[in-house]
Amino acid sequence: MPTIENTSVHIKGNDGRVTSGSLQTTHYDHSECVKRALMKLGLFWLLALGSLPIIFAHWILVPGFFIAGPWMAYRTFQAKYTRNHVRGDCPVCQENMEIKMEARDELPKWTYCPRCSNPLQILEIDE
């Protein structure tokens, strides 16, 4: 079962103002990692099969997807967690916002406010 964890983060604007937000992360246990890796492998091999009828392009697509399958599955297996999003108030425009995160994002992260487009920095809170 994947577990969802919310951690507190600081959202810092360019002018030094700071607000607090919460970062949502999904953690995977070992069996979940194996399941996700196998699903990724299956998807890529299905894509390899699916590109068989494409004339000419199949010479590249079929071996490409076939080789990429185990590699992508390995990368998925290595990922013990994925970042989801950060929720909080923007220190610049004071609006409540949600910033989408990339699965492999690490903190600190530079991004932009989805409301006012000002640059923001997401920081971990040191205890």
Question: Residue numbers of the site for Zn ion (CB under 5 A)?
Answer: 90, 92-93, 113, 115-116
Cβ of residue 11: shortest distance to Zn ion, in angstroms?
9
Give 8 or 96: the residue with its C-beta nearer to Zn ion: 96
Nearer to Zn ion (CB atom), residue 72 or residue 116: 116
> Would you say 29 or 95 has its CB closer to Zn ion?
95
* CB 114, min distance to Zn ion, A: 8
Shortest distance (Å) from residue 120 CB to Zn ion: 7
Residue 104: what are its φ and ψ, rounded to 5°? Answer: -105, 20
96 three-state secondary structure: strand
- Please give the DSSP secondary-structure letter assigned to residue 107: S
Helix, strand, coil tally for the chain in percent (to 5): 35, 35, 30
- B/e letters for 26-59, b = 16+ CB within 10 Å, e = fewer, are eebeeeebeebbeebbeebbebbeebeeeeeeee
CB of 27 or CB of 100, closer to Zn ion? 100
Least separation, in Å, of the C-beta of 112 and Zn ion? 9
